Amino acid sequence: MMRDVLACVLGLPLLGLHLALMVAMAPVVRGVVDWCVAGLAGRGAPSVLMRWRWIVALARRRGLRAAGTAATGAACGATLAAALAACCLVPSAALGLPGAGLSDLLVVAGLLGLVRLGLVVTALGPGVARAGRAAVSGATGLAMMQAVMPVVIAVAGLATGVTGIDGLLARMHDADVAGLQTPLVLAAMALLIAGLDDAWGGAEAQAADMLANVGGPDRAALELARDLAVLVWMTLAGDMIWPGGLAMAEGALPPAPTALLAGLGAWLLRTAVLCAGLVAARVVVLSLDRGLRARLGVAMLFGVLAVVVLFAGREFG
């Protein structure tokens, strides 16, 4: 009992630091991706901090709510709370932080689904046609994510025997699951394609239509929640692709400072690589304008390949 209390007390500052880093980095990551895409397209590239400045400006502005949307503030707050909870459950630099027992793929997928659902509900509130059409597209993206997640969870469970994120990543350090890295990488790619609905080309125009009748702090909360959801998906996929960069807790004690710094550097490196891949996909391969069905097909292809490679490795391994 005392050991658990000690681990919780020592881990709470690290959890707070992890959450602060996720919140600080989320709009920056979106800014970096938009900056790279604009630069490659030959357009004027905005500052990578421009999105942060916009969110802060929205938070300071007193917004007027449309008639019939009295519950908008509560919905926006709940959406941001779901995004923050998902951030707490997905490790960035270290394993074994407080709340790791609740960190399950199904729970995180549910929280990120609530973020998307909160955006859709907020868009439908005023009853405006343009926002309603954009909300239908957002709901389709949510359905795509829900279709892919069971495949990813099944691959993770069959490969490691657990679906808890901390347990999954800790098991991936073991030598007896080293040969199962390929199906987990394929599952992570399926996660990225299905989950990053708010980061593909055209997503900003769709979000502008969805949230056209929301302003002030409510809009700031929703925009920050969108950015947090993107970073959570990228962090989760990066953890599955390269779990060796995560610092491991030493019993009841948190990881050593050097291990934490190394884990933080690995997280930044993973995020940078995934940002580069997202930029390449937006510029060359896929965009939101090409339709959700194409991305659903690609995501399901990666998921099915993960299942095939997993069973093939067990059959011939």
Would the pLDDT of 48 be above 80?
A: yes
Coil/strand/helix, residue 250: strand
Coil/strand/helix, residue 164: strand
Average pLDDT over residues 194-222: 76
What DSSP string describes 75-124? HHHHHHHHHHHHHHHS-SSBS--TTGGG-BHHHHHHHHHHHHHHHHHHHH
More reliable by pLDDT, 2 or 73: 73
**Cβ proximity of 166 and 248 under 8 Å:** no
Q: Identify the top-confidence range among 18-32, 58-72, 278-292.
A: 18-32
Would the pLDDT of 225 be above 90?
A: yes
Residues 6 or more apart whose CB falls under 8 angstroms from that of 286 comprise 193, 200, 294, 295, 298
- What percentage of residues in the chain have a pLDDT greater than 90? 24
| Predicted model pTM | 0.89
Average pLDDT over residues 266-280: 90
What's the rounded Cα separation, in Å, for the pair 261 and 267?
10
Confidence of residue 179 (pLDDT cuts 50, 70, 90): low
Which domain range does residue 185 map to?
2-316
Q: For residue range 283-305, list pLDDT tens digits in order.
A: 776 555 455 677 778 888 898 89
Would the pLDDT of 22 be above 90?
A: yes
* Range with lowest mean pLDDT among 147-151, 156-160, 175-179, 227-231: 175-179
* Range with lowest mean pLDDT among 60-74, 193-207, 213-227: 60-74
For 270, the token pair is: 């993973």
Coil/strand/helix, residue 131: helix
Q: Give bridge partners of residue 250 from the DSSP assignment.
A: 253
| pLDDT, mean over the chain | 81
Would the pLDDT of 266 be above 90?
A: yes
Average pLDDT over residues 39-59: 83
**Cβ proximity of 156 and 184 under 8 Å:** yes
For 47, the token pair is: 């500052």
Would the pLDDT of 82 be above 60?
A: yes
Q: How many structural domains compose the chain?
A: 1
Per-residue pLDDT at 199? 64
Q: Give bridge partners of residue 164 from the DSSP assignment.
A: 104
**Cβ proximity of 240 and 185 under 8 Å:** yes
Q: Residue 305: how many CA atoms within 13 Å on its side-chain side?
A: 15
Residue 224's nearest CA partner among 119, 127, 130, 133 is: 119
Residue 248's nearest CA partner among 262, 236, 237, 235 is: 262
Residue 55's nearest CA partner among 84, 98, 26 is: 26
Element (H, E) at 17: helix 2-40
Confidence of residue 95 (pLDDT cuts 50, 70, 90): confident
Average pLDDT over residues 233-261: 84
Per-residue pLDDT at 99? 78
Per-residue pLDDT at 169? 87
What's the rounded Cα separation, in Å, for the pair 240 and 161?
15
Average pLDDT over residues 260-267: 92
Would the pLDDT of 105 be above 70?
A: yes
